[in-house]
Amino acid sequence: MNKKLIASAALAAALSSAMVAPVSAADKEKCYGIAGIGQNDCGNLAGTHSCAGQSTVDKDPGEWKLVEKGTCESLGGMLKAEAKARYEASK
């Protein structure tokens, strides 16, 4: 088979899969209390770190992950207002 044809087909497949269903940030929300160890998406409520992947406790209520909007509570998590209230109460 022609190498050019194979390369073209591979490129077309890669480009089409990247365009299937882009998800925007507007379709997501921060869900606290569901991240596993090292699986948080960014900084925590306590301010002890500011990077993804630095959570040290499984399902820490101060750590968050981005999830599809409207699914957080069904995953056992909480939105920022509730998480912040729990964090403040535990100080």
* 24-68: pLDDT as tens digits: 778 999 999 999 999 999 999 999 999 999 999 999 999 999 999
Task: Specify the pTM.
Answer: 0.70
pLDDT band, residue 16 (cuts 50/70/90): low
For CA atoms 75, 46, 23, 39, the dihedral sign is negative
Q: What does the mean pLDDT of the chain come to?
A: 85
Report the SS3 class of residue 32.
strand
pLDDT band, residue 80 (cuts 50/70/90): very high
The yes-or-no verdict on residue 17 having pLDDT over 60 is no
